[in-house]
Amino acid sequence: MRLLLLSNSTNAGQTYLQHALPHIQPFLQTTEESEALFIPYAGVTITPDEYTSRVREKFESMNIRLISVHQTNDPVKAVMNAHVIVVGGGNTFQLINMLQKNFLLEPIKERILKGIPYIGWSAGANSACPTICTTNDMPIVQPASFDALNLIPFQINPHYLDKNPDGHAGETREMRILEFLELNPDISVIGLREGSLLLYEEHKLSLIGNKPVRIFQKGKMPFELSPGDNMQFLLHSGN
């Protein structure tokens, strides 16, 4: 498998995908990967055409042609013929709901397991996990299940924040993740901060960016890993 999983699409003070393009371009380095299939299903307040246009502009700047699954006559066939799959962020529940309704979860997984690159940010990163249970999103729709692509054996919490805004006394992100671990004790969770990316290729997991990730495991104190640290143990997380 080859995976590039991003916490977010836009860093404060930067343009859309600006922080990610220097990592996406070398990730897609063979001539066979000059076309990518985009999945815009997570977009809710943006139309699929608008979303595709926004992402297409960025990929074309890298000389990569982008087509959207919603503009194809046969989404399953489009996935099975794809050289690269790109899944944008938005609402994770809507994303999984649409993937299920279009019967795309298994075809996407099949293609990824055969080695084509997968790029996902926010909801797209959540979808690479066993389930979407560590998303931050509101369940605005009810998918058939919370099961996701299960490409990796751990969960991701994108946009991870260490504390709540001033004046807010509710649960912190850490508290919510610890609740997840209480009922799912056999799986690790990565708190992926803004601007951070996870790269998986050649059976190796690595962190990209200038921020550490926070690791949550049942029965252990949460701890930090920085870029360059060994993360291989996370590939043995889960059932």
The pair phi, psi for residue 23, each rounded to 5°, is -100, -30
- φ, ψ for residue 85, nearest 5 deg: -120, 130
Catalytic residue among 7, 9, 68, 122: 122
- The answer to whether residue 168 is catalytic is no
- Give, in order, the Cα–Cα distances in Å from 192 to each of 61, 100, 104, 148: 27, 26, 26, 18
Tracing tokens 């969960």 back to the chain, one arrives at 155
DSSP 81: T
Task: Determine the distance from the C-alpha atom of residue 18 to the mean position of all C-alpha atoms in its chain, rounded to a whole number.
Answer: 17
Catalytic site residue from 7, 137, 196, 237: 137
Structure tokens, 208: 């990209």
CA separation for the pair 107, 19 (Å, rounded): 30
- Confirm whether 166 is a catalytic residue: no
Helices (H), the chain: 21-27, 48-60, 75-80, 92-101, 105-113, 123-126, 173-183
Helix, coil or strand: residue 85: strand
Q: Please say if 236 is a catalytic residue.
A: no
**Active centre residues (catalytic):** 122, 137, 159
